[in-house]
Amino acid sequence: MLEVHVVSPRDQRARIAASVAFAVQGICFAAVIAQVPTLQDKFTLSELQLTATLAAVPVIAGVGSVLAGILAPRIGSAAVLRLGGLGTSALAVAIGFVPSTTLLYVATAVFGLFIGAVDASMNMQGVAVQRQYGRSILASCHAWWSIAAIAASAAAIVAAGVSLEVFLAGVGAVGAVLALAAGPFLLKRNEETLEEASRPAPATRRWIVVIIGIALMVMFIGDAATTSWGGIFLQDALAANEHLVPAGLFTYLTFQFLGRTISDRVIGRAGAVATLVIGGLVAASGFALVATAQVVLTALGGFALVGLGLSVVVPLTFTAADALDPTGSGSVIARVNLFNYAGVIAGSVVIGVIYDAGSLRLAFAAPAVLVLAILALAPAFRVVDAARSARFMAAR
C-alpha cells in the first residue's frame, strides 16, 4: 500500500519561503559575480589582486557556514537565514558603492561571510521542509537558486549600459524585499528539530559525513571548472567569438536548472544511490565532450550534460547530511557545507595550474576523471533511502 502524506498549508508556505530564500542568494551572488570585470576596471585591480579577492570569498564563506552551524541549533535556522538574506542583499549594494580598494576588500569579505551563513541555513530550512513533506523536494529549492542566478546574469547583460552602483542597488533592493517577505513563513526552531530517532550511530556518522562531503567537493570542483574557466576554454581552445564566450556558462546554468526541476521525481523513483551514479556518469561524459570538442556547439552540448549531471549532487548531499543529524539541528549540514568551499577553491586552482602548464583541453579532462569518483562514493548515500524507509515505517 502506498504512503499517503497530507501536506498542510503551513508546510506549503514554508516551502515557498525556503525557495525564495534560495533565490535571494542566487540573485545577489550572480549579480556580484557578473560585475567582477567592472569592479576590476573601476579599482584597476591586477590579476593577482582580483584572484586573491575572489579566492577569499569561499574561505570567509566557510567561516559563515561554521557560524550558522553554531547559531542555528540555538536560535533556529530561520533566524540565521533572515539575517543572512538581508545581509547578503545589503552587501551586494555596498560592493557597488565602496569608494576605495580597501573598502572593496572589506565589503567582499563580509559578503562572503553572509553568503556562507545563507548557504548553510537555507539548506537547513530546505531539508526541514522536506521532512514535513515526506518526500524529496530539496532539488526544487536549488532550482530556484539556479533560475535566480540565470535571471541575474541575464539582467547584467541587458543592463550593460547601467552604472555599477544602480545595478547592484537594484539587485540588493529586490533581494531585501524577497528576504523580508519570505522570513515570517520559514519554519521556526521548534518546527524543524526532531526527537532522536532511528539514525546512524555517531561512530558511523563520522565517516559517512566525510564521504558525502568529498562528493560535494568533487561536484564543486566541476562547477568551478565550468563557471570560472568555461568561457576561457571557448575563447582560447575553440576561438569562439565574443558573443558566444558567455554561452558556456549560460548553457551550464540552464541545464543545471532543468535537472533540478526533475531531480526530486527521479530520486523518489530510482533512489538516491542510483540517481547519483547516473548523474556522475552524465557529468563525466559532458566534461569528456568538452575536452575533445572541435567546434563550439559540441562544447556547449558538453556543458549542458555537465549541468544536468551535477544538478543532483548538491540536494542529495544535504539530504544525506540531514539523515545523519539525529535532531535535525542543522549542525551536520553546516559541516558538510565546508566541503563546498574546498571544492570551489580546489577547482579553480587545479584547472588554473593545468592551464598554465599549457593544456586547456587536459584541464577539462581532469574534472571528467574526478567526477567519476562520485560513483565510488555513491553507496554512502544509502542513508537517504534508509531515512525515507524509516519515515515510511514510522508513519504506518
Written in H, E and C, the secondary structure of 36-77 is HHHHHHHCCCCHHHHHHHHHHHHHHHHHHHHHHHHHHHHHCH
Q: Do 271 and 212 belong to one domain?
A: yes
> Which residues form the domain of 235?
197-396
Per-residue pLDDT of the chain (396 residues), as tens digits, is 344 467 899 999 999 999 999 999 999 999 998 888 889 889 998 877 887 888 889 999 999 999 999 999 999 999 999 999 999 999 999 999 999 999 999 999 999 999 999 999 999 999 999 998 988 999 999 999 999 999 998 888 888 788 999 999 999 999 999 999 999 999 998 888 765 554 555 555 788 999 999 999 999 999 988 887 888 888 888 988 877 877 888 899 899 999 999 999 999 999 999 999 999 999 999 999 999 999 999 999 999 999 999 999 999 999 999 988 877 778 899 999 999 999 988 887 888 788 777 778 888 899 999 999 999 999 999 999 887 766 544 444
Asked which of 138, 159, 193 is the last residue of a domain, the reply is 193
Q: Which helix or strand (DSSP H or E) is residue 30 part of?
A: helix 9-34
Q: Do 60 and 165 belong to one domain?
A: yes
Please report the pLDDT score of residue 195 as a whole number.
59
Q: Do 8 and 79 belong to one domain?
A: yes
Asked which of 193, 211, 232 is the last residue of a domain, the reply is 193
Please report the pLDDT score of residue 244 as a whole number.
81
Q: Are 341 and 58 spatial neighbours (Cβ–Cβ below 8 Å)?
A: yes
Q: Do 230 and 356 belong to one domain?
A: yes
Please report the pLDDT score of residue 390 as a whole number.
61
Stated pTM of the model? 0.88
Cβ neighbors of 84 (< 8 A, separation 6 or more) are 64, 68, 114, 117, 118, 121
Does residue 98 come out as left (phi exceeding 0), alpha (psi in the -120 to 50 range) or beta? beta
Q: Do 265 and 359 belong to one domain?
A: yes
Q: Are 256 and 305 spatial neighbours (Cβ–Cβ below 8 Å)?
A: no
Q: Are 15 and 144 spatial neighbours (Cβ–Cβ below 8 Å)?
A: no
At position 333, the amino acid (one-letter code) is I
Cell, residue 196: 532522536
Domain count, the chain: 2
Q: Do 181 and 207 belong to one domain?
A: no
3-state helix, strand, coil in the chain (%, to 5): 85, 0, 15
d(CA 385, CA 185): 28
Asked which of 161, 178, 193 is the last residue of a domain, the reply is 193
Q: Are 21 and 125 spatial neighbours (Cβ–Cβ below 8 Å)?
A: yes
Q: Do 148 and 202 belong to one domain?
A: no
Which CATH number covers residue 343? 1.20.1250.20
Give, as one character, the DSSP assignment of residue 198.
S
Q: Do 155 and 245 belong to one domain?
A: no
d(CA 129, CA 187): 8
Q: Do 170 and 202 belong to one domain?
A: no
Q: Do 48 and 166 belong to one domain?
A: yes
Q: Do 271 and 188 belong to one domain?
A: no
Q: Do 181 and 201 belong to one domain?
A: no
